[in-house]
Amino acid sequence: MEFTKMHGLGNDFVMVNGFNEDIADPNQLAEAICDRHFGVGADGLVLILPSKQEEADFRMRIFNPDGSEPEMCGNAIRCFGKYLYDRDLTEKTKIRVETLAGIIVPELIIEKDQVEAVQVDMGQPGLGSTDIPITGVNKDKVIKEKLEVENEEYEITAVSMGNPHTVIFVDDADDFPVTEVGPKIEEHPRFPEKTNVEFIEVMNRSEIKMRVWERGAGVTLACGTGACGSTVASILNDYTNQKVEVHLLGGDLTIEWTEDSHVYMTGPAEEVFVGEWIK
């Protein structure tokens, strides 16, 4: 099986062309190929597939290292768009991609026939408690909700970007014990579908620093949907303006929540190498 290794700000993926390869068990393959000691090593397996919907150009499926299938991934869809363009699978620079979170539209920013960046219309965020979902509360917007975690109380803002995000504002994102607190919140019983967890330090009205614990993957260098959800949460709490630079361990993303209620994410996508999986 041929594959391509790509990353968006260090959030890395094994990309497989499902037009050419028949993947019988993608859940099991993800566990094996994403293993950083016995496999290729990645934060996820991404399949490039034909769409089942007439209104979409392609379909993207992504699988976490634990074999679970999330609804969407912002960094992965930027890599997805670059992969299609670089391999002449499309001539379009604005591509409609079917995902479990609905149709997402990445727009390729081309300079000298090279994909320099990708801007993605991530759609409208879900703000209600049933959108996340989170139990124990029935609200149109889950802002500054109290969450008890092993005798500690956290103040959370919850946002869905097609997948669930729980945002906690902290004084120092670098020093916060992400690996300790993250998994406890991910698997908290109030989140029936589990949750991604973002720890946010507000630097000023146009910049935030983010550290993330991803559902099914753990700590990653970047999370595109997390950056979007964190920006929405920052705006809801009146900490930032509508356009925000999000600083992650792997680099920066520009996120804007516009007047049409859509969230737009702009950032890079890079190819690392190609290879052949023989197991």
Q: What are the domain boundaries of the chain?
A: 2-123+267-276, 142-261
CA distance 235 to 127: 12
**Is 151 labelled a binding residue?**
no
**Is 201 labelled a binding residue?**
no
CA distance 38 to 198: 29
DSSP code of residue 78? H
**Is 225 labelled a binding residue?**
yes
- What integer pLDDT is reported at residue 279 of this predicted model? 76
**Is 27 labelled a binding residue?**
no
Taking only the tens of pLDDT, the chain with its 279 residues reads 999 999 999 999 999 999 999 999 999 999 999 999 999 999 999 999 999 899 999 999 999 999 999 999 999 999 999 999 999 999 999 999 999 999 999 999 999 999 999 999 999 999 999 999 999 999 999 999 999 999 999 999 999 999 999 999 999 999 999 999 999 999 999 999 999 999 999 999 999 999 999 999 999 999 999 999 999 999 999 999 999 999 999 999 999 999 999 999 999 999 999 999 997
- What integer pLDDT is reported at residue 117 of this predicted model? 97
- What integer pLDDT is reported at residue 140 of this predicted model? 97
Please identify which of the residues 34, 73, 79, 228 carries the catalytic annotation: 73
pLDDT digits (tens, 9 = 90+) for 36-76: 999 999 999 999 999 989 999 999 999 999 999 999 999 99
CA distance 60 to 248: 24
CA distance 66 to 18: 20
Instruction: Tell me the residue ranges of DSSP E strands in 150-232.
Output: 152-160, 164-169, 196-204, 207-214, 218-219
Q: Does residue 228 have an active-site annotation?
A: no
Is-contact 107 120, C-beta < 8 A? Answer: yes
Reported CATH class of domain 2-123+267-276: alpha beta
Find all residues with CB under 8 Å of 116, minimum gap 6, and list them: 109, 110, 268
pLDDT digits (tens, 9 = 90+) for 242-267: 999 999 999 999 999 999 999 999 99
**Is 224 labelled a binding residue?**
yes
**Is 204 labelled a binding residue?**
no
- Decide if domain 142-261 falls under CATH 3.10.310.10: yes
User: For the purposes of burial, counting CB atoms within 10 Å of the CB of 218, is it exposed (0-12), middle (13-18) or buried (19 or more)?
Assistant: middle
In three-state secondary structure terms, 143 is strand
Q: Is 250 left (phi over 0), alpha (psi -120 to 50) or beta?
A: alpha
Q: Do domains 2-123+267-276 and 142-261 have the same CATH topology?
A: yes
**Is 64 labelled a binding residue?**
yes
Please identify which of the residues 34, 79, 223, 228 carries the catalytic annotation: 223
Q: Which of 182, 185, 160 is nearest to 173 (CA)?
A: 182
Q: Does residue 79 have an active-site annotation?
A: no
- What integer pLDDT is reported at residue 255 of this predicted model? 98
